[in-house]
Amino acid sequence: MKVLVTGGAGYIGSHTTVELIGAGHEVVIVDNLVNADMTCVEGACRICGADIPFEQADCCDAGAMDALFEKYRFDAVIHFAALKAVGESVSKPLEYYRNNLDSLMTVLETMRRHGTPNIVFSSSCTVYGQADRLPVTEQTPRREGSSPYGKSKQMCENILSDTIAAYGDLTAIALRYFNPIGAHPSALIGELPRGTPNNLLPFITQTAAGIREQLSIFGDDYDTPDGTNLRDYIDVVDLAQAHVAALERMFGGRSSEPFEVFNVGTGRAVSVLELVRRFEIVNGVKLNYRIVGRRAGDIVAVWADTARANRELGWTAQRSLDDTLASAWRWEKAVRGM
Ligand code: UDP
């Protein structure tokens, strides 16, 4: 099938492109390159031994989207293109709402005009906020998002759900990602944060590489076994494969409802300190870290109940945390020429 991957030059988009091509699909990437460069597109081409069509355009540009859909006639869209820095979204709410909502709406309108029936949407476990009961299932009530980024993901889920209910010509699956980490085993594609990383793993790998002096661990006085936050860290290749499974469910007409939501995690809770220690052991490096105060907006703990994805998508996270941490370090070293 022919699939448009929006935001395909980015971290998850490039890994998903590789898995789609590996599964026999044709991919076209569209990306405006505001938060990515061509490194991962080139890496994906090398991994696949293919010239993956790339179009530089903004998904909010209806004219550009129309031209793209006219040119390629897609069977499906995987919509990654979005702004994603939680902290930045607090200081730039209008940019986040404008970009994340407009790009989805423009893509949906273009799909309807061109008769493209299927879309997979990048959602996030951030839609749950701090849940009362863990792990979270897809039925766990969503809590008011704690940042414009989180709220934009909730609003996008609502836009999808309302659009699909109203028109009957679209099928959608929203995947709620937990914490994606790691890189492709080839070390040809991976996460490339611009400036100081916000997320834990790139901060760890950059500290190990000597680019950051010290890792700050945000709080060790939470009500958790070692006092640090608990998250569900999922290998980016596993996450990418969940997108292939979601698409094939829609292509095979196996969706039980026109709009479905799945948690995509491992079901395993790992603390910040555990992750740091595992990284040191697996990669044989010492990390300079210190405990600092809590980071505003952090939730204490969240991890996934993945039963629905396991059962309905026939997908389970396969990679071990150790392999994932090794892949992250291999990628950082490749980027730095170490
Ligand atoms: N974290 C940390 N130091 C950092 C970055 C993150 O201690 O430099 C912690 C953060 O408090 C959270 C976990 O690592 O408990 C994951 O944070 P990240 O920003 O990667 O993802 P989040 O789950 O917050 O979206």
Q: Write the CB contacts of 161 (distance below 8 Å, at least 6 apart in sequence).
A: 259
199 lines ligand 1 (CB under 6 A): yes
Per-residue DSSP letters for 251-272?
Answer: HTT--SSSEEEEEES-S--EEH
Q: Which atom of ligand 1 is nearest to the CA of 126?
A: 25
Q: Which atom of ligand 1 is nearest to the CA of 228?
A: 15
pLDDT at residue 146, rounded to an integer: 84
pLDDT at residue 87, rounded to an integer: 87
Please, are residues 220 and 273 in contact by the beta-carbon 8 Å criterion? yes
For the chain, give the percent of residues with pLDDT over 70.
Answer: 100
Q: 228: how many CB neighbours lie within 10 A of its CB?
A: 23
Among 1-5, 101-105, 194-198, 309-313, which is the least confidently predicted range? 194-198
217 lines ligand 1 (CB under 6 A): yes
| Runs of H (alpha helix) within the chain | 11-22, 39-48, 62-72, 86-91, 93-114, 148-167, 200-208, 236-251, 272-283, 307-308, 321-336
Q: Check whether the bond before 53 is cis (ω within 30° of 0).
A: no
Interval 162-175: pLDDT, tens: 999 999 999 999 99
With the most atoms of ligand 1 within 8 angstroms of its CB, the residue from 128, 203, 298 to mutate is 298
179 lines ligand 1 (CB under 6 A): yes
Please, are residues 215 and 253 in contact by the beta-carbon 8 Å criterion? no
161 lines ligand 1 (CB under 6 A): no
Interval 118-149: pLDDT, tens: 999 999 999 998 999 999 999 999 998 889 99
Interval 211-259: pLDDT, tens: 999 999 999 999 999 999 999 999 999 999 999 999 999 999 999 999 9
Q: 37: how many CB neighbours lie within 10 A of its CB?
A: 12
* Residues catalogued as catalytic: 149
pLDDT at residue 140, rounded to an integer: 97
pLDDT at residue 325, rounded to an integer: 98
Quick check: helix, strand or coil at residue 170? coil
Question: What's the gap in Å between 177 CA and the centre of ligand 1?
Answer: 15
Q: 50: burial class by Cβ within 10 Å (0-12, 13-18, 19+)?
A: middle
84 lines ligand 1 (CB under 6 A): no
For the chain, give the percent of residues with pLDDT over 90.
Answer: 96
Question: What's the gap in Å between 198 CA and the centre of ligand 1?
Answer: 7
pLDDT at residue 123, rounded to an integer: 98
Q: Which atom of ligand 1 is nearest to the CA of 124?
A: 25
Quick check: helix, strand or coil at residue 218? strand
Please, are residues 222 and 300 in contact by the beta-carbon 8 Å criterion? yes
Question: What's the gap in Å between 231 CA and the centre of ligand 1?
Answer: 9
Is pTM beyond 0.85? Reply is yes
Longest CA–CA separation in the chain, Å: 55
Amino acid letter, residue 281: I
The tokens for 301 are 């703990």
pLDDT at residue 187, rounded to an integer: 98
Query: What's the residue count for the chain?
Result: 338
With the most atoms of ligand 1 within 8 angstroms of its CB, the residue from 12, 89, 126, 200 to mutate is 200
Question: What's the gap in Å between 191 CA and the centre of ligand 1?
Answer: 15
- At how many degrees (to 10) do helices 200-208 and 321-336 cross? 60
pLDDT at residue 38, rounded to an integer: 98
Residue nearest ligand 1's atom 18 by CA: 199
- Give 311's pLDDT tier (boundaries 50, 70, 90): very high
Query: Between 87 and 232, where is the model more confident?
Result: 232
Amino acid letter, residue 183: A
Q: Which atom of ligand 1 is nearest to the CA of 201?
A: 20
- Give 107's pLDDT tier (boundaries 50, 70, 90): very high
Q: How many CA atoms lie within 13 A of 11 on its CB side?
A: 22
Question: What's the gap in Å between 200 CA and the centre of ligand 1?
Answer: 5
pLDDT at residue 308, rounded to an integer: 98
- Report how far residue 246's alpha carbon sits from residue 262's, in angstroms, rounded to the nearest whole number: 9
Mean pLDDT for the chain overall: 97
Question: What's the gap in Å between 232 CA and the centre of ligand 1?
Answer: 11
